[in-house]
Amino acid sequence: MTANSILLNGTSLSRQQLISVARHGYGVRLDAAQLTRVQRAADFLAEKVSCGEPTYGVTTGFGSNADKLLGAYRLRDELPGGNPHKPEGTLLEELQHNLITTHAVCVGKPFSAEVVRAMLVIRINTLMRGHSGIRVATLEALTAMLNHDVIPVVPEKGSVGASGDLAPLSHLAIVLLGGGEAFYKGERLPGAEALKRAGLESIRLSFKEGLALNNGTAQMLATAVLALDTLEYLLDTADLAASMTLDAFAGRSGAMRPEVHALRPHPGQVQAAEHVRELLTGSTLVDIPYHLVPRFRQWSAEAWSTPENQALSFDISWDWVPANQRHGREAFYNRFLPFKGGKKHQPQDAYCLRCMPQVHGAVRDAWAQACRVIDIELNAVTDNPLIFPDNTDAAYIEEQVISAGHFHGMPLALAMSYVKAAIPVLASISERRLNKLVDPATSDGLPAFLTGSEDGTDSGFMIVQYTAAALVNDLATRAHPASVYSVPTSANAEDHVSMGANEARHVLEMTEDLSHVLALELYTAAQALDYRQEMLNAARRLAARGDWQALASKVANAPREDSPHYAQFVDEVKQLMAALAEVGDFHAGAAVRKAHDTLRSKIRFMHRDRAMDGDVSTVCELVQQRVFAGT
């Protein structure tokens, strides 16, 4: 058992504590005072049984068998010869045993250890509330299994989300009985063998304990918490990717200003805009004057005359706006010099940049709503029937064991369906930014596909966008809510189910593809940012030489010397030279620079085509390892 552990009392489990156990190897401790309440409910239930009262799932069958009252022994045992396969224990114990063994029927690949550990924590915590009738000894056995890192094999598929996650929770519980399979120290073993190697023993279930162990929302809740934890990090990563892209575009920051979002103060939108402002702090690229930004021009042998610039893989250029084309726009050209380079003369960026706070913020709000639901569920009782041993007044004596529907997963299912629809939205706007970076028609002067390709042989980042597009399409096709399609079960005794287990599992799986899309945007934005900074700084170095003719050679439509506009052109080129020479180094925001440096420490700038599979794997791994957390 790990030295780090959290205390479970049924009422104060947080998402972060659950993550500590599931992902960081923490153990759990049981609150001694609360165990008294747990045992009180178990003792009360034993007393009810001794009085012969019919109690659902204790002295009756389950589901459509709820009208069958159990006897002291099987009817077949009355037949001549008896029952040669008669199990040990009473019929009431056999009921609980059979409930677990017959319900462990999931299929598919096993859940990861972190999902199963989260399921165990959730199940232990809800049973600690003292309304389930489980014995302290059984609860302690479940806790020991978690703390000794015996991880039951729980196949992913088989729950309809009501009555709770019956099948997957049965896979969880069957190992306690010495059945099923479990992982122990990385080895997949029969359940009994895994317990033995951990120094643990199997148990026999008592009244309602099978029902207490498998009737609840632990699978959907575990996968939901893990998914939301990942999504929280990816929301910040999406802001970082967008900020790097905005810097690479030398975009406009006005759409991020606080006074703008105060007029439409959706919490997520305000938070996203604030985060982007922080990420862009110190940037000398955003809000740059239009005339300072050159556009990419194909490299040629005559492009540069200085040794420093001759090493570059690009040329730069502007177009000059003659005086006869400025009519009606004199005020603009009094403020900005009459040169068109990489930045279009427009005060707003494309939606994928300008509306980023609204889109990212809406996804943040979907995440926050799901967290609100999850936080309630983490400390809820979700099995059935519910035991209220303290209802001792005469008026409530019939309400000490109440059948209800807390196992129904619809609160979680609908919350996760909201998140499920939001994930493709976040991926889609990321892909649109990526596409804008590689398309020369929309990239504001960057090279096509972010490569020089002077010989026409290079594809650059063209196919990176294909991969992002494929992922976005895949996410979109998986976004249909599972919760809208109920398939009744148990001979229609369970005539409306939530499908919340599928919903939450889908969301957890979808976060991986979302992380890949954001990684591809970061990968592409880093290349674009390098080009933008190098092009601007090359222009600045050229201007710093004080040779207006060298700068004039970069103007694609310069007038001839015998043109009446030539003198004005020369004067305005000199003004452009002075404006470029007086600015400092062009660079991104401090946080963006830090993320860019991290990427460049693992992936070098791509001057010409090379195998990109290693780059893509690396950047995806960096995002999944949360290397950019905290930026």
Three-state secondary structure readout of 379-413: CCCCCCCEECCCCCCHHHHHHCEECCCCCCCHHHH
Nearest Cα to Cα of residue 339 among 287, 297, 290, 285? 290
pLDDT tens string 388-405: 988 877 566 668 888 899
Residue 626 identity (one-letter amino acid):
R
3-class SS of residue 188: strand
246-273 burial: b if 16+ Cβ within 10 Å, else e:
bbbbbbbbebbeeeebeeeeeebbbbbb
* pLDDT value of position 431: 98
* pLDDT value of position 117: 98
Nearest Cα to Cα of residue 577 among 318, 304, 342? 318
3-class SS of residue 98: helix
Nearest Cα to Cα of residue 594 among 235, 201, 206, 283? 283
Q: What's this model's pTM, rounded to 2 decimal places? A: 0.94
Residue 2 identity (one-letter amino acid):
T
Helix axes 218-248, 590-602, angle to 10 degrees: 100
Tell me how far apart the alpha carbons of residues 518 and 431 are, in angstroms, rounded to a whole number. 8
* pLDDT value of position 614: 98
3-class SS of residue 107: strand
Three-state secondary structure readout of 206-265: CCCHHHHHHCCCHHHHHHHHHHHHHHHHHHHHHHHHHHHHHHHCCCCCHHHCHHHHCCCC
Cis omega (within 30 of 0) for bond into 265:
no
With tokens 């015998």, the residue in question is 562
Is 293:445 a contact under the CB 8 Å cutoff?
yes
* pLDDT value of position 106: 97
* pLDDT value of position 403: 87
DSSP state of 355: T
Answer whether CATH 3.40.50.2300 is correct for domain 228-370+414-624: no
10-residue stretch averages of pLDDT, the chain, 631 residues long? 86 98 98 97 87 72 68 56 56 87 97 98 97 96 98 97 93 98 97 98 93 95 98 98 98 97 98 98 96 95 86 94 92 94 91 98 98 98 91 71 91 97 98 98 96 92 98 97 91 88 97 98 98 96 95 95 95 97 94 98 96 98 96 80
* pLDDT value of position 78: 53
Token digits for 575?
């003004």
Question: Does 228-370+414-624 match 5-77+86-216 at the fold level?
Answer: no
Query: In angstroms, what CA-CA distances link 73 with 46, 80, 96, 401?
Result: 18, 15, 14, 24
Tell me how far apart the alpha carbons of residues 69 and 474 are, in angstroms, rounded to a whole number. 50
Cis omega (within 30 of 0) for bond into 163:
yes
* pLDDT value of position 103: 95
Domain boundaries, the chain: 5-77+86-216, 228-370+414-624
Is 409:122 a contact under the CB 8 Å cutoff?
no
> Which residues, in sequence order, are bridge partners of residue 227?
none
Residue 105 identity (one-letter amino acid):
V
Strand (E) or helix (H) holding 187? strand 187-190
Residue ranges with strand state E in 301-381 = 315-317, 319-320, 339-340
* pLDDT value of position 47: 85
CATH of domain 5-77+86-216: 1.10.275.10
Complete DSSP assignment for 579-607: HHHHS------HHHHHHHHHHHHHS---S
Class of residue 549 by CB neighbours under 10 A (exposed 0-12, middle 13-18, buried 19+) = exposed
Is 59:49 a contact under the CB 8 Å cutoff?
yes
Is 430:238 a contact under the CB 8 Å cutoff?
yes
* pLDDT value of position 183: 98
* pLDDT value of position 72: 57
